[in-house]
Structure 1
Amino acid sequence: MKTLLKKIALLSFASVLILLTSCKKDDDSNDPDVINFSQESTTYAAKTDVIVEGSQNIAESAYVQYEEPGRMPNSYFSNCVSFTLTGGGEGSGTIVVDFGTSCQLLNGAIVSGKINMTYGPILAGVRTINYEYEDFTYNSNGVEGGGTITRDIENNDGNPQSTINEDITVSFTGTTITGTRTAQRIAEWVEGVGSGTWTDNVFHIEGNWQTDLSNGFSRTGVVTQTLVRKASCLYFVSGKITVSQEGLTGILDFGNGVCDPFATIIFEGQEFPIILGN
């Protein structure tokens, strides 16, 4: 009889614990100070930005090396890259950039596959370039799709500038999740033009885009503080994007100029770390 009473008491105690735990979880979900968002999906969306930007810069750098050679006579392309060119100059042309099965660029990025570009003549200082990725990977992440670059030889400030419309899908290494980014953005080359080396090249990025993950997550982003990308770094070094996702609006902050794989997402004054590397 005593044993039976003990069992009943223990079961009652366990039931109370489960009930209290359940109530605590419910309280957390309704707590206005708790920000409910998917950090994993947020990180994948931010990684999509980094991978797309890095891949697109490779395409544009290849174009500059052969069609604007005085601006970047020495690039970050290593000996494992081959180029096939037809036409060009003031008229139409094509460039096929082949990285083989694995190629490490001088800026540290490891890539494979091809980038195919076709472009028309220069008209009033502007050229349209179409680019497409073929079996391309960027730091082990698959990159598919392409876009159109409207290339201003010089903008009003005398800098080269590209307006890019893109539709890119990224397959992340180590997961079945994919990310698709559609965007219109402007990349202005603000430092290092014609310096003779790629290491001092700096670009400013403006624009807006939408990122959709295959798990149903969706995020829109608008650059509200100019993004800064250095050719010597694989990540944005500064700048902010206002993002909208999961019923929340926040700020994705890429830092204060230091080259590192870290960013911060801020919702309602609360900061959460984001790791941008693989």
Structure 2
Amino acid sequence: MRKSEKLFVMLVMIAGVVILNSCNKEEVESTNLKTISKDYLSLFSAFNTASEEEITSGDEDDLKSAETWTCLNVTIHENENGDFWPRSWTLDYGEENCETFSGNTRRGKIHVTLSDWWRNEGSSREIVFEDYYFNDNKLEGVKTITNNGENDEGHLTFSKEVTGGKLIYTDGTEMKWDCQKVSELIEGNDTFRFFDDVWSVTGSGAGVNRDGAEYTFEITDPLIYQNGCFYPVSGVVEIVTEGSLTIIDYGNGECDKVATVTTDGVTTTEEL
């Protein structure tokens, strides 16, 4: 074989090795991605403060500290000037994991401030987290809820905004998000009880996932929450991450812990 032919063969072999190594590297990198669909589900659940909102929506009959779950201590802080409003509460889940609704664990404190009775138009609620952990992942950010009054259907509506939202995992990776939602009380509006309430939630947001990739999400079919069900009983959320589409479908009205997740055409069933 002539020298030129040998040189050509060697170049082809080297190119093949480079391509093979490149493919292997891409394969390794793809398998090392940390973010999975359940991380988005966990993020949405972690910022669900329905129980805390219900606990801190009392009137004059509830002006005392109370215990709900055995591991949760609720303290109502009196105003120094004696005025009833604004009200503030500290919800302390303790320093060890406390198992609460739907088997989720919590620890740490949540501080809630309410400017006026929650059903009065214009009332504002601020929720702040202090060393607070949801299923061992630290949660940070501020959640603000504003009463917008009744819409044309006579339903109470609330703007709910999360700023600086972050879920920090035990390995140091983070799920970040900011969101703006609108909650509409579509059933139970005529009573002051919570057990018959049904909420319809719409909205959108954006953030950065555990791999540093930016994402956006939008509720394309309203999420329906029934009192007593921690997770939505129906509704659809679409998440776009650098061209990849994930669709979360919460079902057709059953109060369960299951959602159907479709990512780029591949469908799985996820336990919430």
TM-score of the aligned structures, taking structure 1 as reference length? 0.70
Q: Aligned pairs, how many?
A: 240
1:120 aligns with 2:111: no
Question: d(CA) in 1 for partners of 2:101 and 2:192?
Answer: 17
Q: Is the 8 Å Cα contact of residues 120 and 149 (structure 2) preserved in structure 1?
A: no
Partner of 2:39: 44
Q: Is the 8 Å Cα contact of residues 43 and 274 (structure 1) preserved in structure 2?
A: no
In the alignment, which of 62, 72, 77 is matched to residue 55 of structure 2? Answer: 62
Q: Relative to structure 1, is the Cα distance of residues 264 and 119 closer, same or farther in structure 2, using a 3 angstrom cutoff? A: same
Deviation of the 1:107 alpha carbon: 4.9
1:94-113 matches, cutoff 5 A: 94-101=88-95, 102-113=97-108
Q: Is the 8 Å Cα contact of residues 102 and 230 (structure 2) preserved in structure 1?
A: yes
Unpaired runs of at least 5, structure 2: 1-12
In the alignment, which of 218, 243, 250 is matched to residue 247 of structure 1? Answer: 243
Q: Relative to structure 1, is the Cα distance of residues 39 and 215 closer, same or farther in structure 2, using a 3 angstrom cutoff? A: closer
Runs of 4+ in 1 over 6 A off after TM superposition: none
Overall identity of the aligned pairs, in %:
21
1:207 aligns with 2:207: no
Deviation of the 1:110 alpha carbon: 2.5
Deviation of the 1:130 alpha carbon: 1.4
- Aligned letter for 1:184? Q
Unpaired runs of at least 5, structure 1: 1-14, 30-35, 71-75
Q: Is the 8 Å Cα contact of residues 149 and 162 (structure 1) preserved in structure 2?
A: yes
In the alignment, which of 210, 224, 229 is matched to residue 225 of structure 2? Answer: 229
- Aligned letter for 2:135? N
Q: Relative to structure 1, is the Cα distance of residues 184 and 81 closer, same or farther in structure 2, using a 3 angstrom cutoff? A: same
Deviations 1:229-254 (A, max 9, x none): 33433333321123221223453322
Question: d(CA) in 2 for partners of 1:42 and 1:107?
Answer: 19
More contact order relative to length (CA 8 Å, sep ≥ 6): 1
1:80 aligns with 2:71: yes
Partner of 2:169: 172
Q: Is the 8 Å Cα contact of residues 248 and 259 (structure 2) preserved in structure 1?
A: no
Q: Is the 8 Å Cα contact of residues 67 and 89 (structure 1) preserved in structure 2?
A: no
Q: Relative to structure 1, is the Cα distance of residues 150 and 218 closer, same or farther in structure 2, using a 3 angstrom cutoff? A: same
SS of the residue corresponding to residue 126 of structure 1 reads coil
1:91 aligns with 2:85: yes
Question: d(CA) in 2 for partners of 1:69 and 1:108?
Answer: 30
Q: Is the 8 Å Cα contact of residues 35 and 210 (structure 2) preserved in structure 1?
A: no
SS of the residue corresponding to residue 80 of structure 1 reads coil
Deviation of the 1:223 alpha carbon: 0.9
Q: Is the 8 Å Cα contact of residues 101 and 230 (structure 2) preserved in structure 1?
A: no
Q: Is the 8 Å Cα contact of residues 34 and 210 (structure 2) preserved in structure 1?
A: no
Q: Relative to structure 1, is the Cα distance of residues 43 and 109 closer, same or farther in structure 2, using a 3 angstrom cutoff? A: closer
Q: Relative to structure 1, is the Cα distance of residues 153 and 103 closer, same or farther in structure 2, using a 3 angstrom cutoff? A: farther
Question: d(CA) in 2 for partners of 1:250 and 1:206?
Answer: 17
SS of the residue corresponding to residue 54 of structure 2 reads helix
SS of the residue corresponding to residue 45 of structure 2 reads helix
TM-score of the aligned structures, taking structure 2 as reference length? 0.71
Q: Relative to structure 1, is the Cα distance of residues 130 and 249 closer, same or farther in structure 2, using a 3 angstrom cutoff? A: same
1:260 aligns with 2:257: yes
SS of the residue corresponding to residue 112 of structure 2 reads strand
Q: Is the 8 Å Cα contact of residues 186 and 206 (structure 1) preserved in structure 2?
A: yes
What is the alpha-carbon root mean square deviation over aligned residues?
A: 3.8
Partner of 1:147: 143
Deviation of the 1:224 alpha carbon: 0.9
- Aligned letter for 2:90? V
